[in-house]
Amino acid sequence: MDWNDYDAALFDLDGVITPTAEVHMRAWDQMFNDFLRDRGEGQPYTDEDYFEYVDGKPRYDGVRSFLASRGIELPEGDPTDAPEAETVSGLGNRKNADFEEILQDEGVVPYPGSVALVKALQARGTKMAIVSSSRNAAAVLTAARMLDYFPVIVSGKEAGERGLAGKPAPDTFLDAAAQLGVPKERAVVFEDALSGVQAGAAGDFGLVIGVDRGVGADALRTHGADVVVDDLQELA
């Protein structure tokens, strides 16, 4: 691709810059399967459920989506609910506690190909932002020693505080482009989740690049990716 056609790169974090999508998957698996076993539900939560109902969405939206797929109704609760609470918010907070424990125990190393592309874009003066549904984006970037590359971060935390709709709505990406001072037509979206490429397509950005970390190239294209790569090194 010709980077002269674009002025900004808007990156999802988990699964694009860092392999923390795997940590999120493990945390969701642990939380949901513990929950289902306690209820005596026979059908376990699987990776297929993650990609279909959870991947790329704000935390509580992921809880709602999966529970709806199983016909399970819980009170909405409140974001201040304890992780033990049997509410949508409680389950989301339980998952986050599991994620933070895994991250603290194991740390995170960014994808080498992603680091190569980020450094190449920094050298040529391309503006960059992180757009992540995770409320842990800054902590993950700090752990990966990548925080200084991204002057703009629109995470689930900022989106919640400012009332921005989460992916698959394009609002968080549009907000990041506006903060960078770049028209959406001159911005590239990088996403590994179906909800993320949907958001990029809905925002009518200059280019939507799907990063195939397991969801499948065909699915990424069907949901809005213009180009699909296996590793960002291909674009450096």
How many whole angstroms separate alpha carbon 103 and alpha carbon 115? 19
pLDDT-derived band of residue 191, with 50, 70 and 90 as boundaries?
very high
Any catalytic annotation for residue 49?
no
Over 90: is that where the pLDDT of 101 sits? no
Q: Model confidence over 3-32: pLDDT tens digits?
A: 999 999 999 999 999 998 788 899 999 999
On whether the CB atoms of residues 9 and 232 are closer than 8 A, the answer is no
pLDDT-derived band of residue 103, with 50, 70 and 90 as boundaries?
confident
pLDDT of residue 28: 96
DSSP, residue by residue, 204-218:
T-SEEEEE-SSS-HH
140-168: average pLDDT = 94
Candidates 7, 12, 81, 171; catalytic one:
12
Candidates 7, 14, 49, 98; catalytic one:
14
Q: Model confidence over 31-51: pLDDT tens digits?
A: 999 999 999 998 999 999 999
Over 90: is that where the pLDDT of 89 sits? yes
Q: Model confidence over 163-183: pLDDT tens digits?
A: 999 999 999 999 999 999 999
pLDDT-derived band of residue 56, with 50, 70 and 90 as boundaries?
confident
Over 90: is that where the pLDDT of 1 sits? no
Which structural domains are found in the chain, ordered by start? 3-19+109-235 (3.40.50.1000), 22-106 (1.10.150)
211-226: average pLDDT = 96
Could you tell me the pTM of the whole model? 0.79
pLDDT of residue 20: 86
How many whole angstroms separate alpha carbon 57 and alpha carbon 140? 17
Over 90: is that where the pLDDT of 219 sits? yes
Any catalytic annotation for residue 14?
yes
Look up residue 59 and give its two tokens: 């935390």
How many whole angstroms separate alpha carbon 9 and alpha carbon 129? 7
pLDDT of residue 173: 98
How many whole angstroms separate alpha carbon 68 and alpha carbon 224? 25
Look up residue 96 and give its two tokens: 């986050």
